[in-house]
Amino acid sequence: MPVWRYMELCLMHPRYGYYVSRDPLGREGDFTTAPEVSQMFGELLGLWTASVWKQMGSPQLLRLIELGPGRGTMMADALRALRVLPPLYQTLSVHMVEVNPVLRERQKTTLSGVRNIAWHDNIDDVPEGPCIILANEFFDVLPIHQMVKQKNGWHERVVDVEAGGKLVFAAAAEPTPRFDVLLPPLVRAAPVGAVFEWRPDAEMMKLAARVRDQDGAALIIDYGHLRSDAGDTFQAIARHTFTDPLKAPGQADVTAHVDFQALTRAAEDVGARVHGPVTQGEFLKRLGIDTRAAALMQKATPEVSTDIAAAQKRLTDPGRGGMGSMFKVLCVSEPRLTSIAALSDHLEEDEST
């Protein structure tokens, strides 16, 4: 089967899929995300939301939508920060788009005091109206196609079964006709053997069309690259360690890096405005993470202060082990919004990681 179908089944098979049966987050789980590293992350996204709401002309009813909200931690922290702005806090409605029943339950516990909240399987089910959409580590779990370059063209990469039942990567027998035509020049020039990954544009086009037509903005935070390029980033993580993605289907988180150039192109194609991307480190600094960390540390014990400093470093540090430059932040808005808080410029090609 094609890699995209394998990835889809690993994550979403109704019985054995990774995301239908468990809470994978946190120290006891398989991976830790930015909202789980520190409350500062969600709080700063709350402030960002308030700023964008004002730029939108302070609409009376705002839908705050989160895609793939994990344990609900980011939304809880964002809402706490938004309390300082009663005209927004008291009128907004919260929409959680989540497919995982275990995480849904977890989110319901985390957000038990929140009024005006609803859960949805798909963003299409969220009622119309001005909205701000937040998506942290959502796009990386959407299935990718992998293509392998051979002498006679690009072949879809597949997962095959060897005698004895072992899963292996292979290539479809025939090349995909005229696949080259769709490729950016950098990828077209890749050597034989190169792998190119792409995701259907449908999800981004849906978000972009919604903010274009109904007033709003969507913030996408994920790990990935600025320019579409060849490279195999299909990976599996279990118990905080990289593992073979073919080894235990449905038992490990399988993801692939996000191509921010492809997201930008898809959003612009439907007429939305794109802001950024900037690195996560830069984004959080512009939103004031240093000031927030200092304020939290003032009231904390020495042990807790050490933890706050470590979290601040992890979220912003561009070096190994840090999320500062590996993660990028991109906003897609209705065209009238000409500038967006903390995203007024974008990264240049040579800053890509």
Ligand X SMILES: C[S@@+](CC[C@H](N)C(=O)[O-])C[C@H]1O[C@@H](n2cnc3c(N)ncnc32)[C@H](O)[C@@H]1O
Residue closer to ligand X, measured from CB, 137 or 215? 137
Segment contacting ligand X (CB under 6 A): 29-37, 194-202, 224-232, 261-269?
Answer: 29-37
d(CA 27, CA 236): 17
Q: Of the candidates 93, 36, 20, 77, which has an alpha carbon nearest to the alpha carbon of residue 251? A: 20
Among 4, 53, 138, 198, which residue interacts with ligand X (rule: CB under 6 A)? 138
Segment contacting ligand X (CB under 6 A): 32-40, 49-57, 188-196, 329-337?
Answer: 32-40
Instruction: State the minimum distance, in angstroms, from the CB of residue 201 to ligand X.
Output: 15
Among 35, 46, 249, 250, which residue interacts with ligand X (rule: CB under 6 A)? 35
- Asked if 137 touches ligand X (CB under 6 A), the answer is yes
- Asked if 190 touches ligand X (CB under 6 A), the answer is no
Instruction: State the minimum distance, in angstroms, from the CB of residue 206 to ligand X.
Output: 12
Burial label for 327, CB within 10 Å (0-12, 13-18, 19+), is buried
Enumerate the β-bridge partners of residue 279: 328
Size (the chain), residues: 353
Residues 6+ apart with CB under 8 A from 294: none
Question: How many residues bind ligand X, per CB under 6 A?
Answer: 19
Residue closer to ligand X, measured from CB, 150 or 233? 233
Residue closer to ligand X, measured from CB, 89 or 119? 119
Backbone phi, psi, residue 291, to 5°: -65, -40
Burial label for 286, CB within 10 Å (0-12, 13-18, 19+), is middle
Instruction: State the minimum distance, in angstroms, from the CB of residue 265 to ligand X.
Output: 21
Segment contacting ligand X (CB under 6 A): 61-69, 192-200, 271-279, 345-353?
Answer: 61-69
CB atoms within 10 A of CB 4: 21
Residue closer to ligand X, measured from CB, 27 or 151? 27
Instruction: State the minimum distance, in angstroms, from the CB of residue 85 to ligand X.
Output: 23
- Asked if 18 touches ligand X (CB under 6 A), the answer is no
Burial label for 58, CB within 10 Å (0-12, 13-18, 19+), is middle
Instruction: State the minimum distance, in angstroms, from the CB of residue 32 to ligand X.
Output: 8
Among 17, 42, 46, 69, which residue interacts with ligand X (rule: CB under 6 A)? 69
User: Which two structure tokens, joined as six digits, stand for 125?
Assistant: 């089910």
Segment contacting ligand X (CB under 6 A): 135-143, 144-152, 157-165, 287-295?
Answer: 135-143
User: Which two structure tokens, joined as six digits, stand for 332?
Assistant: 């897609």
Pairing of strands 327-333, 145-150: unpaired
Instruction: State the minimum distance, in angstroms, from the CB of residue 153 to ligand X.
Output: 31
Among left, alpha and beta (phi > 0; psi -120 to 50; other), residue 58 is left
Backbone phi, psi, residue 254, to 5°: -105, 130
* Nearest residue to ligand X, by Cβ distance, number only: 68
d(CA 186, CA 194): 12
Site mask for ligand X (CB under 6 A), range 74-113, x = bound: x----------------------xxxx--x----------
Among 70, 130, 245, 250, which residue interacts with ligand X (rule: CB under 6 A)? 70
Q: Of the candidates 232, 328, 341, which has an alpha carbon nearest to the alpha carbon of residue 280? A: 328
- Asked if 33 touches ligand X (CB under 6 A), the answer is yes
d(CA 328, CA 326): 7
CA distances from 227 to 257, 288, 290 (A): 12, 28, 30
d(CA 60, CA 88): 8
Among 39, 93, 110, 136, which residue interacts with ligand X (rule: CB under 6 A)? 136
Instruction: State the minimum distance, in angstroms, from the CB of residue 326 to ligand X.
Output: 14
Instruction: State the minimum distance, in angstroms, from the CB of residue 305 to ligand X.
Output: 24
Interface with ligand X by CB under 6 A: which residues? 19, 25, 33, 35-36, 67-70, 74, 97-100, 103, 136-138, 141
